[in-house]
Structure 1
Amino acid sequence: MLISWRSALSLLLASSLFFFDEWISTPSCRFVPRADHDPRDAAADDRDGLKVMIASDLLLMGSDAGFVDTYFGDYYLSKFFKKSFQTLKPDMLVVLGDFSARGSELTRRKWVPVLRQFHRLIGSLITLPFHVILGDRDIGDCSELDSQLVDWISSHLPGLDSAGCGAFEMENITFLSLNSVALLCGNNALRFGVEEVIERESLDFQTEIEGARTEMTNDFSLGRSRNDGQHCHEKAYSNSLVDVNELWQRLAGSGPYESSHNIPPNATEYIFQALRPRIVFSGHSLDFCDYRHQDGTREVTVPAMSWHARDDPGFVIATFRPGKSVGISHCSLGRQSYAIIYIFMLVLLMLMILLVKFLTTFRTIMMAVALL
């Protein structure tokens, strides 16, 4: 009877661990309509199109990762990617900057483990097209910008030029990524390189068919002159069991720029006039927000996908169709606090089983001694 009870409990523990592992790593997605309630949005979400998974702020530690990061954080981050690709089946992956936690402080030798960690996390999914944008944690602030290091990092990431910018086309959809950190700085070689990219792409768009517009991705959000964001999640940590913001700063540092830092208004206006983007995706703010600028341009800020940044990580699925509006879905992943509670309960239950086993063994020994 005791053996059957132990076997049943062991089976219960194993099955609960399996189901929890699947549940916490499976994304839950919610379609986000545009502020003007364009009916084409719902159609774009349902019909076939170019489906892109857009993540932000992975904050990888590389060789500086501790025990918890290596055997807990990395495991679940890898599961997040795997389950998201299995359930949503995106055609491409885009990471909006800050994919390293302390990249601006690393040498080239230290950068190699970060790149390997990223490739290991996405695993076999690396066969799909992916694009990574550099953020302030990756290359530093204006006083730390090193054009040679930016060039070296860019050469190890697909689609980036020496200035950290990229332009590519998939299924007749044009994407442009800018080194937004360089746009914050004064006269420097990287900023000139970014402006050259903007001017070149602007000329290309002028020669395209009228109405053709690009999709733009940045690390920093564009300058905002009014507060009309929709579906914005301002309280990222209000329901956290632990102070994840404090944990993030302790593990990864505070970062060169605050999460509320935006591209200056003059640079924003320059981008709008030159590129006429249909939609802009930005990271760095850690929270999800759907914002409409005064000229009608839609900007979506993508939440952080790392537990270092927030208790409830997430990402965005964007569905692009030529000539149609872009369908946006906000996807949420399992909370870190849930994982901590579950692991605590699991360890407590295992200790109870060991205690029962010890007491049973002790009782048997005492009975044997009494019979002597």
Structure 2
Amino acid sequence: MVAVAWRSLLPVIIISTFIVYEEWVSFPSCKLLPNTTFNLDEHVGNDDDSPEDLKVMLVANLLLRGTEAGFFDLYFRYYYMSKFFKKSFQSLNPDMLLVLGDVSAKGSELSRSTWLSVLHQFNHILGPFLDLPLHVILGDRDVGECSGLDANSVNWITSNFPGLDSSGCGAFEISNISFVSLNAVALLCGNNKLLFDVEKVIERESVDLQMEIKGTDEAKNESAMFRELSYGFSWRENAMTSGSGPVLLLHFPLYQSGNSYKREVSTFKSTIDPSGHDPASAESRGFLGTGPYGLSQTVPPNATEYIFHALKPRIIFSAHTHEFSDHTHLDGTREVTVPAMSWTVRDDPGFIIATFRGNRSTVSVTYCSVARESHILTAYTSALILFLLLVIVSNTLELKGLS
């Protein structure tokens, strides 16, 4: 009788154990990163949360397919992505969500009705984050290659995301932190209307920043210099110091000089969470479906220098490469590249938490990874095999008992 009771309880035990495991691996594993600028002030009190702090979650490359998604994407990948967002919200309690492009897997090829299904999917996956301030920028997957970059199409897509103008740029302030997002795809695409519109946004933000720092009259006099810019990225120095400008948000990374300092995710790979998901090194992975541009593609050097001179960004967050990177440019500006948040392109999705410390220039950066797809599939497979073995053994024992 005891054996029969145990056999009847084992399926319940296996299913309950798997449910507990599924909930456990849905929580992110996070590690605070040291600042590459090595500023002593940046390391003071970084672990102490304050009500004045602004905690921002940054994700990229969701690569949603809407109605074109297959069964495996809909009922496995997107299901877990939704759980990752929910558990990240519960465990990290961010104040804002930033999405750095490539919401769609191939948005530039979609009809508007299919794009709307992607947006519906996007809203469903975000779950509790929809109640927070949200800002989304455009990636190359969303708007396409330079040869097909269309201002009308971009305008329609941007109208579905909060805070973006018709060119795909945005500027906003929250908790006294200024943010500027640029359509980095247009910056790669030579002489076109969208590039001119992005240039005007950079000009306007630069003038506004100088007005705050130097006074209205002096800044207005210098603004005439910026109005002469047209595709050539020619400018004079402004009086702002490096790091005094806004937080800059891009899909493509800025051009990186070989003489600057760069830390890859592999430098802190040794911290492994007990759940088995950990930041993985760039060398151990290949990429699937990486889009119209090569992974080495960055904003061109002249446009990069123009942005640095005009905006003097406090810190830069970019995406596109699917990999995490922590880079310090020659002027000391830090650029953090956000990894992909999709199993479509990497076995271990990840995201970034940036905490802007109140009353200080400090920005703390935390790398968070979520469960590997291969680990969860292995758990599913193991549970299924164990359940089938249990059924076979139970049936065999029943047959022997009857004989």
- Would you say the 8 A contact 1:45–1:328 is kept in 2? no
- Separation in 2 of the partners of 1:124 and 1:81? 8
Matched, 1:13 2:14: yes
- Would you say the 8 A contact 1:44–1:324 is kept in 2? no
- 2:333 aligns with 297
- 1:93 aligns with 97
- Separation in 2 of the partners of 1:139 and 1:119? 19
Q: Deviations over 1:321-357 (max 9, x none)?
A: 3542211111111111111111110111121122223
- Separation in 2 of the partners of 1:236 and 1:69? 25
Comparing 38-47 and 71-80, the one that deviates more: 38-47
338, 359, 362: which one aligns with 2:375: 338
- 1:47 aligns with 49
Matched, 1:359 2:396: yes
- 2:254 aligns with 222
User: What SS is found at the alignment partner of 1:222?
Assistant: coil
281, 301, 306: which one aligns with 2:317: 281
Q: Deviations over 1:53-111 (max 9, x none)?
A: 00111111111111110110011100110010100000000011111111111111110
User: What SS is found at the alignment partner of 2:136?
Assistant: strand
| AA partner of residue 369 (structure 2) | S
Percent of aligned positions with the same letter in both sequences? 50
- 1:370 aligns with none
- Separation in 1 of the partners of 2:62 and 2:141? 11
- Separation in 2 of the partners of 1:261 and 1:239? 21
378, 384, 403: which one aligns with 1:347: 384
- Would you say the 8 A contact 1:184–1:263 is kept in 2? yes
CA positional deviation for 1:364: 5.4
Counterparts of 1:226-305 in structure 2 under 5 Å?
A: 226=258, 228-233=261-266, 236=281, 245=287, 249=288, 253-305=289-341
- 1:72 aligns with 76
- Separation in 1 of the partners of 2:129 and 2:305? 37
Question: What is the TM-score with the length of structure 1 in the denominator?
Answer: 0.91
- Would you say the 8 A contact 1:108–1:149 is kept in 2? no
Comparing 131-140 and 17-26, the one that deviates more: 17-26
- Separation in 1 of the partners of 2:336 and 2:69? 31
Distance 1:293 1:238, change over 3 A: closer
Q: Deviations over 1:112-133 (max 9, x none)?
A: 1100000000123201111111
CA positional deviation for 1:15: 2.7
User: What SS is found at the alignment partner of 1:230?
Assistant: strand
- Separation in 1 of the partners of 2:128 and 2:336? 28
Distance 1:232 1:360, change over 3 A: closer
- Would you say the 8 A contact 1:80–1:333 is kept in 2? yes
Q: Deviations over 1:278-330 (max 9, x none)?
A: 10000011111110001111100011111111111111000113542211111
- Would you say the 8 A contact 2:342–2:349 is kept in 1? yes
- Would you say the 8 A contact 2:89–2:128 is kept in 1? no
Question: What is the TM-score with the length of structure 2 in the denominator?
Answer: 0.84
- 1:147 aligns with 151
- 1:172 aligns with 176
- 2:111 aligns with 107
Q: Deviations over 1:167-206 (max 9, x none)?
A: 1000110001100000001111111111111000001100
The number of aligned residues is 357
